[in-house]
Amino acid sequence: MSFMKLRKTFFLFSFLITALSAHSSSSIQQHEFNTRECLDANYQVEVKHPSGLFGLLKNKLTLKKTGCQLEVSYVRIPYLMEKSVTIDVCRLPVHIKKGTRSVEVLKKKSSCMLSDNIGDAFCQEYRDLVQIISDNGLIFAEGDKEVLDSPHGQVFCAYTLINHYLGDSVVFSRFHDETIQEPMKEIKEEKEEEQQQEEQTEEKSSEEMPGESSNSEEESDSSESF
């Protein structure tokens, strides 16, 4: 009888140890990842969800990350509506490689927040890419966005890096924690200064016009008096 009680106690103790170790290991694995872990991670994640024709068609988003390089592939209708871009978040200048067979390079000229860049090819591609990842990845990927091992976390990691690189012109490095910011702000300031100078020139010309007209009137009056 005492042997049976001892055996039962041993099994209960073993069960508790196993449960505690499993809980501790899962909690360690599911900590919130930081920028360095996101940048160093290598993974491939695929997110599918039904769309169109009563759900017979499926939208498919594939993100392949190898260090600094991100390959984004999106298929809405096979062979008809496909998008493929490659982004290296550690490489200057800030750019997007579009396509697979025939690669088109889109370089960032200035901030996409400027009204002048509404129709810019780079800015348009950036906006489309962010919307595709948001609508097809962040919404439908499973898991928690803070956990890098989950599909949602991997999509969120790529989404964050792409936004910082393409949107904020932040260039990362795998060898140190410092980042480089491409001087897009200077270009924006130059454009704003040019616009201000143009406005000042227009104001000066508009102020000079009434004076000229009054002078012409005085000349006409003097000629009539003669």
pTM of the model: 0.69
**What are the b/e assignments for 189-210, b being 16+ CB within 10 Å?**
eebeeeeeeeeeeeeeeeeeee
User: What's 82-151 look like in SS3?
Assistant: EEEEEEECCCCCCEEEECCCCCEEEECCCCCCCHHHCCCHHHHHHHHHHHHHHHHHHCCCCCCCCCCCCH
Cα end-to-end span (Å), the chain = 140
Per-residue pLDDT of 111-140, as tens digits, reads: 888 766 778 999 999 999 999 999 999 999
202, 130, 123, 180: which is closest to 160 by C-alpha?
Answer: 130
| Residue scoring higher pLDDT (219 or 81) | 81
Per-residue pLDDT of 55-68, as tens digits, reads: 678 899 999 999 99
CB 162 within 8 A of CB 154: no
Per-residue pLDDT of 35-54, as tens digits, reads: 999 999 999 999 999 876 66
Q: What is the pLDDT of residue 28?
A: 40
Q: Which two tokens stand for residue 38?
A: 């996101």
Confidence class of residue 182 from pLDDT cuts 50, 70 and 90? Answer: confident
Listed range (6-20, 26-40, 74-88, 134-148) with the worst mean pLDDT: 6-20
Q: What is the pLDDT of residue 2?
A: 57
